[in-house]
Amino acid sequence: MKITLLGTGDAIGTPKIGCKCPACLDALRGGRSRRLRFSILVESDEDEGRVLIDTSPDLRWQMLKKDIASVDGVIWTHAHYDHYAGFGDFHRVQSHVDVYALKSTMDYILNYLYFLAPVRHDVEALRPFEIAGMQFTLFPVHHPPTETVGVLISNGCKKVVVTSDTTLAIPECSLELMRDADLMLADAIMPPGYNLSKHMNAEEAVQLAERLGAKDLRLTHLSHLFPPHEIALKTWPLGHDMMEIVL
């Protein structure tokens, strides 16, 4: 199984429009602080299939850069603009895409993206389903006030956990599913020191991964408030755009 971090930025991406902070300047110079909005590509063993987790507003560029012409399914974690708006980029590329989400998330997103006529699959939290030979389970997290899920991916003996946007107040039933992952991709929108109500910071995400026994951790959904990427990497295990992780 191969995981590609197509975009590791938060809702505004880095560089932020009009900002001249150190991370934004590094991004404007082409450094790894440049972060498109959040999407993940999951590819099964022996290239049997490809699944997108969330469809960033930057999806067109992400698909071009990764040379993706079609996918076997799309999973949406929640109905925030930066996690679904790029689905429109399938227009005249791939028809009737299979899409998977909780019913309330699906209702909201397809009210906007109905014109693409995707094939709708309403999913129940904590109930596994299969796409392209891989097993996925959506589990509830805490991203108030929006109903949001993380994603557990199983392929053979490998286990990947995507926290999605969340605070540390994750339900116990979800924490049990998240234990002992080979790879955790964790929301960590800011470095420590900021007062957050909807997300984890980097320190909290690292502590969560340690508590749950994750073998590897990459932080994502990152804001421009981190130091430039190569400096921040000395302290935190940040992901970067187009990072590939093979399990």
Give the global pTM. Answer: 0.95
User: Any idea how long the chain is?
Assistant: 247
Which among 89, 100, 107 is positioned nearest to 129, based on CA atoms? Answer: 100
What is the distance between the alpha carbons of residues 175 and 208, in angstroms, rounded to a whole number? 9
Confidence at residue 190, expressed as pLDDT on a 0 to 100 scale: 96
> Which residues, including other chains, have CB under 8 Å from residue 111's CB and lie 6 or more apart?
none
Confidence at residue 177, expressed as pLDDT on a 0 to 100 scale: 97
Confidence at residue 187, expressed as pLDDT on a 0 to 100 scale: 97
Confidence at residue 152, expressed as pLDDT on a 0 to 100 scale: 98
What is the distance between the alpha carbons of residues 74 and 122, in angstroms, rounded to a whole number? 12
Domains recognised in the chain with CATH numbers = 2-246 (3.60.15.10)
> Is residue 109 a contact partner of residue 80, using CB atoms and an 8 Å limit?
no
List, run by run, the mean pLDDT of 10-residue segments along the chain (247 residues): 97 97 97 98 86 97 94 97 95 94 97 92 97 96 96 94 97 97 97 90 97 98 97 98 96
Q: What are phi and psi of 179, to 5 degrees?
A: -65, 145
Confidence at residue 54, expressed as pLDDT on a 0 to 100 scale: 98
Confidence at residue 48, expressed as pLDDT on a 0 to 100 scale: 77
